[in-house]
Amino acid sequence: MKKKIFSGVQPTGNLHLGNYLGAIKNFVSLNNDDKNECIFCVVDLHAITVSQDPAILRENIRETVATFIASGIDPKKSIIFNQSQVSAHSEAAWILSCIARMGWLNRMTQFKEKAGKDKEKASVGLYSYPILMASDILLYDSTHVPVGNDQKQHLELCRDIAQKFNNDFKVEDFFKIPEPLIQKEFSRIMSLKDGSKKMSKSELSDLSRINLTDEEDQIMNKIKKAKTDSLPIPSNVKELNSRPEARNLIGIYSSLTNSTLENALGNFSGKNFSEFKENLSEILIDKITPISNDIKKLLKDKSYLDKTLEDGCEKANKIASKKVKKIHDIIGF
Ligand code: TYM
């Protein structure tokens, strides 16, 4: 049976190494397997849960498509589209918000983190955002959803919503219950400045992340300045796990070289960080610079990027509108 893969990325600029190693790298390998049907969505409706400048948002949507393609996703072998252009997403989100329970949403840790101290001032969209995410996934009968570790709780909510809908309306199997695909050993890339915080596009300091559009010298400088501790590199994973910044850098190395943390440690244990950092910079430059150059090249061809989205939207719309029609029938509209 074909796997139906669905995932989304917000077009909020500064796509970074966390997005790449946590999600996009996995999109590429899933897309390379002809047994899979892949849909990759630029989730612009999710982006407006916090305020956006319209002109910048428009450019960021294109940049996200460019990043998908530059990273190795083939638009001929997948559907790439933006969420706002397929109205079924907004419609299903409303219907599913009548299925999801307040108690379920109140548990979402990402809302608590993003809303910060002043929850009263957060948009309602930021709160109900995981329901829109569930709609994205369920409209396409997705079987597998590749994401970073931070999206795990949202995926569990999506499964709960699907199950409740199927039970409430006695339509067993109408919504497929999707499986998350999360990297096993190292699924959360942390800030280069603080090993306890996720690498994120909203972090003020650009030194905290490697952007996928960074140039060679920026990558070298950021790795040189990345926080470490004063001890040499440990020999075992147990010790590594107690040293967050060291774990993050070794984890990034292991993910880029497709090796285990243990193997990565084997190459460097007992050495100091300066030698390791030189190696890590080289590997990062080898991986990121071609992507960065391709993004810049693709961004010059706006009509190609717009056409890619237009074609993708047409295909996505066909699938999603059929599913919404069935939802209407089930509900009694
Ligand atoms: P977003 O745009 O914040 O991030 C896109 C993807 O990158 C992963 N990611 C990370 N992985 C590891 N370490 C990090 N530091 C890191 N930062 C980001 C995220 O886990 C994600 O996979 N709600 C989603 C987008 C979305 C979606 C969907 C995903 C909307 N609808 C349907 C899957 C299916 C989000 O805001 O991702």
Q: Among 151, 181, 199, which residue has the most ligand 1 atoms within 8 Å of its CB, making it the best to mutate?
A: 151
Q: Which residues contact 1 (CB under 8 A, 6 or more apart)?
A: none
The CB of 5 under 6 Å from ligand 1? The reply is no
End-to-end CA distance of the chain: 33
User: pTM (2 decimals)?
Assistant: 0.96
Q: Among 4, 5, 6, 9, which residue has the most ligand 1 atoms within 8 Å of its CB, making it the best to mutate?
A: 9
Beta pairing, strands 144-146 & 179-181: parallel
pLDDT tens-digit profile, the chain (333 residues): 789 999 999 999 989 999 999 999 999 999 999 999 999 999 999 999 999 999 999 999 999 999 999 999 999 999 999 999 999 999 999 999 999 999 999 999 999 989 988 889 999 999 999 999 999 999 999 999 999 999 999 999 999 999 999 999 999 999 999 999 998 878 899 999 999 999 999 899 999 999 999 999 999 999 999 999 999 999 999 999 999 999 999 999 999 999 999 999 998 999 999 999 999 999 999 999 999 999 999 999 999 999 999 999 999 999 999 999 999 999 999
The CB of 100 under 6 Å from ligand 1? The reply is no
Q: How many CA atoms lie within 13 A of 143 on its CB side?
A: 9
Q: Are the CB atoms for 299 and 117 separated by under 8 Å?
A: no
